[in-house]
Structure 1
Amino acid sequence: MPDYAMEQKNCSHREQICSTRICTLTGYGYLMCQRDKRAITSSLNRAAGQVRGIGQMVEDDRYCIDILHQLHAVKAALSKVEDRVLRSHAACCVEEAMASGDPILQRRKFDELVEVFAKAKL
């Protein structure tokens, strides 16, 4: 994947400046859309608390089935966070790329989504 230079532009639906760039072959360096950041962070903190609770359940030698139920609950919570991040990305980053009219930026956003969905199949 090519190393693109930093681009800055005013977001069409936000007042702040958005920075979008692709960093290196190791991954993407885009800033997250701020609109859903608080809700996503809150959900992740809740899931982290659930994971700590599961760790305590293991330490306390709780019944395996109870632990498995809690593991399923954490997976479901993380799946919801994943859905929210994806929706946020589509409503923010992808929408901006489409509105920009820049075919290179549009292609980058499309390629990102294809790559994420390809990894999700693993």
Structure 2
Amino acid sequence: MPGLGAPGYLLRTLERCARSGPALLLDVPGFGDPAGRACPETLGSPADTVARCLAVVPRAPVNLAGHSSGAQVALHATVRAPERVRALVLLVPTFPCDLPGHPVLIPRHCGGAGAGAGRGRTPS
């Protein structure tokens, strides 16, 4: 699963993955093709689309990878169809800084050095 708006950057990765076996790069509506139908601003629709794709992949379970915002979609799709996913790989996942319990690993990306206080937890 690519991040928003740019599935093309993963083509070389797809080619390398295909050396080991069948590989697919999904262009989920609202994520890649600018002419595609926009999805609502929730993860339900793209994750449901990926789960439906997983339901028809002939060689399941699969290794499912998601990059950036695509990591969130891959995670939600795995929850919807866990029997179809052998391994889940989250590549540079994006998550809201104010997510309860979210570890602030790099505080400057979340509004400064003290931004994690009270919103998440800092790693020990």
TM-score, length of structure 1 as denominator length: 0.29
What's the TM-score once normalised by structure 2's chain length?
0.29
Structure number with bigger Rg: 1
- Larger % of helix: which? 1
